């Protein structure tokens, strides 16, 4: 039978899992920063609709901005998970394509400082 | 059953090999099951069952061997080599946590497995955030750890049930 300690572990993991949610709610951002291999490769203005192809050393992703939100509309990565992550528009939200080492992060006017405050 | 130390060592090697092969088969099986969560790294973690069994039947060394076989071969065969760093980072962190918690007498395999699954998810997220230099990816820790809570608990329960039954074959 499971022991008392198991429930302590379960509750601890549950609370730890919820911890990042405290930081989740943030205002809408207007710039998307695209990083490849951790280096900022492109800044995208979310106020204008458009298509942005991003060529990484590992493959290509097509980013699309529509009504102030950004999402991955095409990608040749093996898992295709980035295509299913939906559109994002709030500061601190991000999209990731791990096979291509690509990430897209929304920033507001103040970038990280604004999030910290 | 009385056994010479030598035959016990052979048996241990054989059972570990079988557990490694089973881990590989289970990783393949779970790659066929689509999960409704479109995030990298969210899986059932069925292969961890064998790592957990090796940990309980033998020691963390043998569990580490099963883990290495599973991570290396399943990324070569199914997931692609790009997945190897994530599998290793998550797997090693999970094994470390499980090996440290196993001697704790207040815990059964259920708690140990939950902690291991959570550590697995956390390890992957940390590596992902580091490789892409995007701390915001730490948000993915929430879904990964919640999934780990469920799958880890279920697998731990299974080990709790079958480990005493397997012990006489070990």
Phi, psi of A63 (to 5 degrees): -95, 145
Q: Which of A39, A85, A98 sits opposite B38 (nearest CB)?
A: A85
Flag whether B61 is in a domain: yes
- CB contacts of B40 in chain A (<8 Å) are 79, 81, 96, 98
Task: Report CB contact under 8 Å: A5, B106.
Answer: yes
Kindly give, in sequence order, each residue whose CB lies less than 8 Å from that of residue A110, ignoring residues fewer than 6 positions away: A117
pLDDT digits (tens, 9 = 90+) for A65-105: 998 899 999 999 988 889 988 899 888 888 999 999 999 99
Flag whether B3 is in a domain: no
Phi, psi of A34 (to 5 degrees): -100, 125
Task: Report CB contact under 8 Å: A93, B136.
Answer: yes
Q: What is the pLDDT of residue B39?
A: 67
Q: What is the pLDDT of residue B40?
A: 63
Alpha helices in chain A (DSSP H): 4-18, 112-116
Task: Report CB contact under 8 Å: A81, B39.
Answer: yes
Could you tell me the two tokens for B102? 């196993």
List chain A domain ranges: 24-116
Residue B125: give the domain boundaries: 8-169
Q: Which of B51, B50, B120 is nearest to B86 (CA)?
A: B120
Residue A115 clears pLDDT 50, i.e. is over it:
no
Q: Which of A9, A52, A30 is nearest to B156 (CA)?
A: A9
The whole-angstrom separation of Cα A73 and Cα A88 is 13
Q: What is the pLDDT of residue A19?
A: 84
Flag whether B1 is in a domain: no
Q: Which of A33, A5, A40, A18 is nearest to A108 (CA)?
A: A33
Flag whether B163 is in a domain: yes
* SS (HEC) of A1-31: CCCHHHHHHHHHHHHHHHHHHHHCCCCECCE
ipTM for the whole complex = 0.80
pLDDT digits (tens, 9 = 90+) for A21-61: 776 667 888 899 999 998 899 999 999 999 999 999 999 99
Measured from the Cβ of residue B146, the count of other Cβ atoms closer than 10 Å reads 18
Task: Report CB contact under 8 Å: B128, A98.
Answer: yes
Flag whether B139 is in a domain: yes
Q: Return the number of CB contacts < 8 Å for A and B.
A: 121
Task: Report CB contact under 8 Å: A35, B133.
Answer: yes
Could you tell me the two tokens for B34? 């689509």
Q: What is the pLDDT of residue B2?
A: 60
Q: How far is CA B71 from CA A71, B12, B124, B130, in A?
A: 31, 20, 13, 20
**Average pLDDT for consecutive 10-residue bins of chain B (170 residues)?**
76 92 90 72 82 94 94 85 87 95 92 94 90 79 90 93 86
Phi, psi of A80 (to 5 degrees): 65, 15
Task: Report CB contact under 8 Å: B114, A9.
Answer: yes
- CB contacts of B132 in chain A (<8 Å) are 35, 37-38, 96, 98, 101-103
Kindly give, in sequence order, each residue whose CB lies less than 8 Å from that of residue A29, ignoring residues fewer than 6 positions away: A46, A89, A90, A91, A92, A93, A106, A107, A108
Phi, psi of B49 (to 5 degrees): -55, -45
Q: Check: pTM over 0.80? Answer yes or no.
A: no
pLDDT band at A113 (very low <50, low <70, confident <90, very high): very low
Helix (H) or strand (E) holding A104: strand A102-107
Question: What CATH number has the domain bearing residue B33?
Answer: 1.10.1760.20
Indicate the fold that domain A24-116 takes in CATH: mini-chromosome maintenance (MCM) complex, domain 2 (2.60.320)
Kindly give, in sequence order, each residue whose CB lies less than 8 Å from that of residue A114, ignoring residues fewer than 6 positions away: A91, A107, A108
Per the structure, how many domains does chain B have?
1
């Amino acid at each position: 039978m499971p022991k008392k300690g198991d429930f302590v572990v379960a509750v601890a993991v549950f609370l730890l899992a919820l911890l990042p949610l405290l930081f989740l709610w943030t205002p809408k951002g207007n710039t998307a920063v695209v990083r490849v291999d951790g280096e900022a490769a492109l800044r995208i203005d979310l106020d204008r609709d458009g298509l942005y192809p991003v060529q990484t050393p590992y493959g290509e992703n097509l980013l699309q901005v529509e009504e102030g939100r950004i999402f991955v509309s095409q990608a040749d990565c093996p898992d295709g998970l980035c295509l299913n992550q939906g559109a994002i528009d709030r500061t601190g939200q991000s999209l990731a394509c791990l096979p291509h080492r690509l990430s897209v992060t929304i920033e507001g006017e103040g970038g990280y400082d604004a999030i910290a405050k | 059953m009385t056994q010479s130390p030598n035959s016990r060592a052979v048996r241990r090697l054989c059972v570990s090999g079988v557990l490694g092969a089973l881990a590989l088969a289970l990783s393949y099986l779970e790659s066929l099951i689509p999960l409704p969560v479109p995030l990298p790294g969210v899986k059932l973690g069925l292969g961890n069952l064998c790592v957990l069994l090796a940990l309980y039947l033998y020691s963390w060394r043998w569990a580490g061997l099963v883990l290495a076989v599973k991570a290396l071969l399943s990324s070569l065969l199914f997931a692609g080599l790009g997945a190897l760093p994530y599998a290793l980072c998550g797997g090693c962190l999970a094994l470390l946590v499980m090996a440290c918690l196993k001697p704790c007498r207040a815990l059964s395999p259920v708690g140990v497995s939950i902690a291991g699954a959570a550590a697995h998810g956390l390890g992957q997220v940390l590596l992902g955030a580091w490789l892409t230099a995007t701390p915001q990816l730490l948000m993915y820790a929430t879904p990964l750890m919640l999934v780990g809570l469920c799958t880890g608990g279920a697998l731990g329960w299974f080990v709790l049930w079958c480990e005493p039954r397997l012990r006489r074959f070990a």
